[in-house]
Amino acid sequence: MAAQIWYENDGDLSVFNGKKVAIIGYGSQGHAHALNLRDSGVDVVVGLRPTSKSVEFAKEQGLDVKSVADAAAEADVIMILTPDQAQRKVWANEIEPNLKPGAAIAFAHGFNIHYGYIKPTEDHPVFMVAPKGPGHIVRREYAAGRGVPVVVAVQQDPRGDAWDLTLAYAKALGALRAGAIRTTFKEETETDLFGEQNVLLGGVNKLVEMGFEVLTDAGYQPEIAYFEVCHELKMIVDLMNEGGLNKDRWSCSDTAQYGDYVNTCIDEHVRERMEYHLKRIQDGSFAKEFIEDQDAGAPKFKQLQEEYSHVRIEEVGPKLRAMFSWNNDGVKDADEANSFTGKIARAQVQ
């Protein structure tokens, strides 16, 4: 069955007339949502801890900033954009006790709703607008008159207006310029976690790291190995983005294509591992492991961060990346993200 996709004419910003939207958090997604909605004419308040470093950043952008409790108390729609592991505590301690009757609760990822860490009562509409890109790109594309696609879902619709709110929010974000694809909280959560763990991060990162180590262990120069397993990856991904796997393959040499077909190291054993990880996502085992570690102070997470920040490929990577002058725009984007949103992205209530 074909996916249902909504575009610019499907959203009505007048839905927000007389309503206030609270953005809880001002990290990567929070700053983009708050600024885009504000620039679309929506009445926005940002909810933060008074001691958060994000307060000064939000105020510099001309936004109204209040405590999480005060922002929640006056809002008709509350978009929760703090980290997954922090959301249930912010909800229980600062949002839920201060909610207006019937206020809508929104998310950009389904984790806490799907796994039951947050359970709004049935009188509250619950919806999701999840951009398919990082916050600084969501903001950049909006400012350029374009948009980043989103996936959207409704979990609770007690009044029958939850989809109107969802599409109005997506339009104010600039997302309907690109398109909004209908999904469910279950589908978005499970596919998002699966993609991150098995392909986008847990797959690609490991392939690059292992490929580099196999080549350098065999005696090849680290610089040459870096070019072959890491640098050229961007070209391949760009080709996929433009025209799918076929354009990726057709744009490369016959030698590369033939090797792709007959020598791939991704075999049925990898499929079995993927299926195993998908089951752990579906049954909540991964979420439970992650939340329990976070509640204990994230000892395993911190240990893994430290371990993987010193992989061998990064001994040569910075030097080689500095050679590519055409990457300057990307470096500028990263610097801007780090100096603005990056400084505050780890705050428990951003």
Annotated binding-site members for NADP(+): 26-29, 49, 52, 54, 135
- The secondary structure of 142-209, three-state, reads HHCCCCCCEEEEEEECCCCCHHHHHHHHHHHHCHHHCCEEECCHHHHHHHHHHHHHHHHCCCHHHHHH
The tokens for 205 are 């990162």
Dihedrals φ, ψ of 128, to 5°? Answer: -135, 135
Q: Torsion angle of alpha carbons 230, 236, 237, 243, nearest 10°? A: 180
Annotated binding site for substrate: 253
Q: Which two tokens stand for residue 76?
A: 């008709």
Question: Who's near 214: CB < 8 A, 6+ residues apart?
Answer: none
Angle between helical axes of 135-143 and 328-339 (0-180°, round to 10):
110
CB-based contact 138:173 (threshold 8 Å) = yes
Nearest to 235 by CA among 313, 311, 141, 327: 327
In sequence order, the β-bridge partners of residue 156 are 126
Is 109 among the residues known to form the active site?
A: yes
- The DSSP secondary-structure symbol of 23 reads E
Q: How far apart are CA 44 and CA 74, in angstroms?
A: 11
* 182, 262 Cβ separation under 8 angstroms: no
Q: What is the DSSP letter of 99?
A: P
| Binding-site entries for Mg(2+) | 192, 196, 228, 232
Amino acid at position 23, single letter: I
Annotated binding residues, written as ranges, equal 26-29, 49, 52, 54, 135, 192, 196, 228, 232, 253
User: Which is the catalytic residue, given 33, 109, 124, 136?
Assistant: 109
Tell me whether residue 166 is exposed, middle or buried, using C-beta atoms within 10 angstroms of its C-beta: 0 to 12, 13 to 18, 19 or more: buried
- Which residues, listed in sequence order, are joined to residue 77 by a DSSP beta bridge? 21, 104
Give the residue numbers annotated as catalytic, written as ranges: 109
